Every structure is written in structure tokens, then in C-alpha cells.
Amino acid sequence: MRISAFIQSIVLAFALAGSASIATAQDFRVAGDPNYRPFGFTDENGNEVGYDMDFAAALGEKIGRKTAYEGMAFDGVVPALMSKRIDAITSLAVTNARKEQVLFSQPVLVQDIVAILPVGKPVPSLEELKALRIGVQVNSSAAAQVEALGMKAASYNSLPDELNDLVLGRLDAVVVESIGGAYTVAATFHDKLVVSSLKLSSEPRVISVAVHKDNGDLLAQIDQAITTMKTDGTMKAIATKWFGETNVVAE
């Protein structure tokens, strides 16, 4: 499905509106992993781009605040939110452990936990996977699922690092969230790796916006904005731009 030039211009305008690097108290301060395609990455011109930037800028527009986006290592985003350095994490997988730390908005995206394998390797069963050398991104929902299933895994700070080790034969499989995994494999490792049919989650995992536990008023504004974005075409436009599909948008 093609996005109209009009909608593309809106998405670009939102992204530019959120590109300021110096945040003020009035800004909508958000953060995300800058090394996790297609949510956040640096393009060939040295600009931080991705779903997170466009979604955050559009969300800020809906709640009437200019978005100030900051890229930071994934394991630092929740601590930054809890210390109130930022106002929100715009894409965070919902887990029971995180519910104890933050407030979550209504569901924004849905995805599966999957295994990435070298091209030509047979797809293992869950039991067979336990005996393999597995890589996961630290503090990710994929890592939590691997732990819940009683599997051992090597932890990595970024998805590209673990996929590189998979290509080099240092790992047998990488367990990852399906959206980021599929995008990165298609963009960089399409001739070496494949997203297998093995799913480690019985139900799709939800990605939502997270805010501080004492920021219920902001959460209410965000929930209303998300509802509007789902009905006015904004979410579909951003999802199509970065994921090439809209079925990842939660209903």
C-alpha cells in the first residue's frame, strides 16, 4: 500500500518537529534505542530516523507539545523514565515486571518473539533450541521470554551485535522481537540469516507508551492521542512507512 504524498509530508513534518536536541521543561521528552531498526537508527546522512522518531513527533503534536527525542542505550531508557529525565518511552514491550515500574498506555503495536537462524539451518523445536547457543538483547522482552522458558542465552547490547555473532558462527540462534528482527535481517543480512517460523510466545506481545508511575494525567492525554491517531490514519501511515504493513498496529 502506498502512502499519499500528503500523508508522507505530514509524517516528515512531525519528525522534523521532534528533531530538537535541547529539551525544555515544556517539551515532550522521550527516548528510545538509536540502534534498533526500524524503530531508531542513523541514516546515511548521519540523521537519527525511524518509527520511534515519527511516532513520538506525531504523539507530541496531538498532545500539544514539541517533542524532544533522545537516543540512548536500551538498558538506560527505563531508569531515565523512573528518574524523570524523560517523560515517556514511546515504544516499550509490556511485561509484568515493567508494569511494576511504569504505567503503560493502550496497546500501540503487536509482535511475536521469534528465532533468527542462519540460512539453510533446520528450524529447531523449543526443546532443541534450549541446547543451542542463543543470543538476546539485554533487558528485552525476548530476553524475558527466553528466561521464562528456562533457556540460557548470551546477552548483547544491540541487535546488530548479536546478529553479527550469529553470522560468524558464535551463536546458533538469536531470539528477538519480530518487527525489529525482520527489518534488520531484510536490510542487512538477507543473504545470510532468516526469520524462522519458530515462535517463542503463544500470543502476540504488546508494545505501548510508558510513563512514570505518578504521571497519570500525561497517560490520559497519550491514550486519547493514540486513539485519535488510530482513527485518523496517522498510525497506518507511520506503520506503512517503517514496517511496510499495518497489521502490526494494535486494534
pLDDT band at 251 (very low <50, low <70, confident <90, very high): confident
Query: 156 and 143: one domain?
Result: yes
Q: State the pLDDT at residue 35.
A: 86
Query: 104 and 128: one domain?
Result: no
Query: 12 and 105: one domain?
Result: yes
Query: 220 and 152: one domain?
Result: no
Mean pLDDT of 126-138: 96
Query: 123 and 158: one domain?
Result: yes
CATH code, domain carrying 31: 3.40.190.10
Q: State the pLDDT at residue 139.
A: 86
d(CA 108, CA 222): 11
Helix, strand, coil % (nearest 5) of the chain?
40, 25, 35
Which secondary-structure segment (H or E) carries 118? strand 113-118
Residue 175 within any structural domain of the chain = yes
User: Mean pLDDT over all residues of the chain?
Assistant: 90
User: Is 235 within 8 Å of 105 (Cβ atoms)?
Assistant: no
Query: 125 and 105: one domain?
Result: no
- Domain of 224? 5-109+206-243
Mean pLDDT of 127-138: 96
Q: State the pLDDT at residue 23.
A: 53
Write phi, then psi, for 42 (nearest 5 degrees).
-100, 125
Lowest mean pLDDT among 34-38, 125-129, 216-220: 34-38
**Would you say residue 13 has pLDDT above 70?**
no
pLDDT band at 19 (very low <50, low <70, confident <90, very high): very low
Neighbours of 140 (CB within 10 A): 24
Number of domains into which the chain is organized: 2
Distances (CA, A) of 123 to 118, 129, 178, 199, 205: 10, 9, 16, 11, 22
Query: 105 and 120: one domain?
Result: no
Residue 191 within any structural domain of the chain = yes
The 3-state DSSP class for residue 202 equals: coil
Query: 97 and 9: one domain?
Result: yes
Residue 248 within any structural domain of the chain = no
What is the grid cell recorded at 200? 517463542
Query: 134 and 22: one domain?
Result: no
Q: State the pLDDT at residue 7.
A: 46
Query: 28 and 121: one domain?
Result: no
pLDDT band at 55 (very low <50, low <70, confident <90, very high): very high
Query: 88 and 169: one domain?
Result: no
What pTM was computed for the model? 0.78
